Amino acid sequence: MNALICIDDTDNLDSIGTGELLEKLCFELKIKSLASAGFVSRHQLYVHEDIPYTSHNSSMCAKLETSWESWDQVVGFCENYLERNAAKGSDPGLCFVQTDMISDSAKQELISFGKSAKETVLHKKAAYDLASIYGKEIHLSEHGGTGGGVIGALAGCGLRLYGSDGRLKGKIKPEDSQGIWPAGEICEKYGFSRLITDDYSDIDPKDPVALIPEIKPILWEHEPVVMVEAWNDSRAPWKIISKNDLNRKRIGR
């Protein structure tokens, strides 16, 4: 079976970040032969004085593949892991969504909740109320402090379901960081689905593209992609955008 896992508010200023904690948790699931995980995506939520957060108010989400027989064990292991490893003073929340069986209505409500969490202050009761309606498809639980992280955990699953929000955790550092390669070869070597412009149009796989020292892929239409900008250079018409600033303005619209 396939599922999403999302955690939020597990860190403090001195601890590892929530994204690294999720990666470690997914690694433990693999070591114990409970589940395998894909890449971790970071979803930026609303920054407001009424919302407690450590630095950026973002939640972290990954896809899991496991068996029906292992499901209860996976959930229990993750709950215990957060309780043991979340940072002191944090308010951890954990959400699972069973994507193999999710209904259209649940999917749309989750996506709506996720988008709302990028624009307004939400409350824990709203998260639990939504999760309780779809109890067979959604698991939502808190594991310390105020438990306010359930809001971001639920929202992160909704935004991952939406499929065109957020960045992939981590940076890719090309060996030939000053080189110019065809777009298709960049995708093949580094695992991107395609390169797109700032208006979200695909570029030709044969187009030369200038590389940069660090690449930050984004999530677009459920796939890892990289944005490029027009480059005024005779060697290549495109250059990879270093921080995807345009993506921050437009993703999640």
What is the share, in percent, of the chain residues with pLDDT greater than 90? Answer: 74
Is residue 104 over pLDDT 50?
Answer: yes
**Cα separation of 214 and 75, whole Å?**
35
Angle formed at CA 71 by CA 69 and CA 77, multiple of 5 degrees: 125
The domains of the chain, with CATH numbers, are: 2-166 (3.30.70.2200), 180-245 (no CATH)
User: How far apart, in whole angstroms, are the C-alpha atoms of residue 125 and residue 128?
Assistant: 5
pTM over 0.85, yes/no: yes
pLDDT digits (tens, 9 = 90+) for 202-218: 999 999 999 999 999 99
pLDDT interval class at 16 (50, 70, 90): confident
- Over its C-alpha atoms, the chain yields an Rg (Å, rounded) of 19
Confidence of residue 13 (pLDDT cuts 50, 70, 90): low
Residue 186 CA, distance from chain mean position: 22
Q: Which of 250, 235, 234 is nearest to 197 (CA)?
A: 250
- Return the percentage of the chain with pLDDT > 70, whole number: 91
Mean pLDDT (whole number) for 6-14: 78
